[in-house]
Structure 1
Amino acid sequence: MPTISHTITLAPLGASFSVQEDTTLLLALEAAGFDAPSSCRNGTCRTCICRLQAGTVAYTVEWPGLSFDEKREGFILPCVALARSDLVVDVPLARRVSFD
C-alpha cells in the first residue's frame, strides 16, 4: 500500500512541507528544518498547542490534552496529531532553524 502524504503550511510563515500520514506534525515540522515550542511529546503538557486553520487531523492518543471547546475552536496538539488532509496550521512561534 503506498504511503499517503499531505502538505502542511505554517502560518504566519507561509512555509510548506510534506508529512506522511503516520508521522506526527511536530516530528515532520522538525524534520523539515523548523522549530516550535514543545515539551512532553505525548499530548499532555500543551506546550505545542496551536490552531488548525484548514484541514483534518487524527490523534495518536484517544483524548489529547484539549478541552471539548478547544477542539471545537480548532486547537490541536502537533505532538500527537496526524494529518488526514493538507493542512494550514497557525504556529506563531515556529521558526526556521539556522545551522550557521
Structure 2
Amino acid sequence: MSYSVLIQPSGLRFNAEAGRSLLRAAEDVGVVLPSSCRNGTCRTCLCQVREGSVVHTIEWPGVTREERAEGWILPCVAEARSDIVIDVPLAASFGD
C-alpha cells in the first residue's frame, strides 16, 4: 500500500510506501527535504502535517507532546498512514 504526499508550498508530490519513512520515500523520487541525523533527534527535518495522519516509528521522537498535538512531525522517523499534506518550506527537487 502507498499513500500520496503533497508538500506545500512547493506543490511537490510523491508516493510513500507503507513501512518507508517519509524522508526516504521523498529521496527515492528526487525530492529533497531538510535532514541531518535521520534518527529523530536533531529536528532538522521538523515539519507540520496539514492533512492526513502519520505515525512515528520510534517511541519518543524529538517533538514535544504539544508539538505533536499541533501536527509537527519528524519525516525521518515518520510513516504515512493516509494520504497527507505536509508543510515543508525548504523542500526542493534534485533538479532545482
Aligned residues: 96
TM-score by length of 2: 0.96
CA distance in 1, matches of 2:3, 2:32: 19
The corresponding residue for 1:41 is: 38
TM-score by length of 1: 0.92
> Cα deviations across residues 24-81 of structure 1 (Å, max 9, x unaligned)?
0000111111112101101001000000000110111011110011101110000000
CA distance in 2, matches of 1:65, 1:17: 25
CA distance in 1, matches of 2:30, 2:20: 15
Q: Which has the higher Rg, Structure 1 or Structure 2? A: 1
CA distance in 2, matches of 1:68, 1:77: 13
Q: Which runs of 4+ in 1 moved over 3 A?
A: none
1:98 offset after TM fit, Å? 1.7
CA distance in 2, matches of 1:29, 1:19: 7
Indicate which of 81, 84, 88 corresponds to 1:84: 81
> Which amino acid in the other structure matches residue 22 of structure 1?
G
Indicate which of 18, 21, 42 corresponds to 1:21: 18
1:13 offset after TM fit, Å? 1.1
